[in-house]
Amino acid sequence: MTSAPLLRVRDLGVDFSTSQGAVQAVSGVSFDVRAGECLAVVGESGSGKTQVLLACLGLLASNGTARGSALFADRELIGAGERSLNAVRGTGIGLLTQDPLSSLTPHLRIETLLTEGLLDRGLATRAAARERALQALRDVEIADPESRLRQYPHELSGGMRQRVALAAALMCGPQLLFADEPTTALDVSVQARVLELLALVRSRGVGMLLVTHDLGVVAGLADRVAVMYSGRIVETATTDELFRAPKHPYTAALLAAVPRLHGVAQSRLVGIAGDPPQPSARPPGCAFAPRCGRAVDRCSDSRPELTASAEVSPLTTAQGDSMDGRAWPITAVACHRPLQDRAEIA
């Protein structure tokens, strides 16, 4: 892709003040998202995925602080005031969360939830906003939209609530959609339909930053993947390349843990031994080293930096879209002993 990125994140960090002192939840995260492109951020729970989204939107908890840079359409989001952020939320960047029952205000009717963004910003009359809400429900394939507008969130099924939440996120015509675990707790058929709707959104030129732990969702929707572990990106690649030949042992372990319906039968799923380190007690070297079968002394002593893979040029994105004058690499890994071939992965 040669277009300039919609969102350009560089060296993003998130810290939380606690009774035990400052805790670093995210460190040194950098990526780009372009129009019509989907970047998936994957990793275990607690890896910092959701905090990246919240930091960009200024929605961290009261004890959280973001640092670094997140440029959306040349507007700096990190450290911006509420007025500036409100000009971006909804109209520039839409947010679809994993729990629509919580994100949809329970005492408001669906019509109010869908139209309030347009009305508060003066983007439409009440009649025009209502007509737009009806069309938004049709777009996400909700039957009888007239009656749905009069209902409350708790009167809808889980899949229908998620589609309403998607309609709400797109009501003000954002250029970029943040989707945080959008298919969690949905049954397989509903999940498939939500993914089809998200793919339709992308086809209209909307960029997407997808946070998920579901690699099946990644395979079906994402163009590129950033793998997070313990607050850092440890690998980034195109989706095809990541699934074909992961470089980081953690990525390979995640892929090995995915259930398969074909190939050699396994009696049990392959798990990842151990647990991720607590953010307040990360080891000085690679955070994955205590769980990694390839770790050597250097892995425990020295933290590896995210480095572009030798076979992929770092100049594969638009020129001059990184702070040091290089384009941000599409394929990179943070590992002292990256995997080289399928034999090592197996």
Helices (H), 186-225: 188-203, 215-221
* pLDDT digits 0-9 by tens, 55-97: 999 999 999 999 999 999 889 999 999 999 999 999 999 999 8
CA atoms within 13 A on the CB side of 288: 29
Residue 330: the pLDDT is 75
In the CATH hierarchy, which fold is given to the domain comprising 7-92+172-260+274-345?
Answer: Rossmann fold (3.40.50)
- Which sign does the torsion angle of CA 233, 195, 119, 7 carry? positive
CA triple 195-317-225, angle to 5 deg: 35
Domain boundaries, the chain: 7-92+172-260+274-345
- SS3 state of residue 170: helix
Q: What is the mean pLDDT of residues 220-243?
A: 95
Residue 250: the pLDDT is 96
Which pTM does this prediction carry? 0.88
The residue assigned the tokens 């996400």 is 140
What angle in degrees, to the nearest 10, is found between the helix axes of 110-120 and 126-139?
120
- Spatial CA neighbour of 96 closest among 14, 11, 226, 206: 206
* pLDDT digits 0-9 by tens, 291-312: 999 999 999 999 999 988 644 3
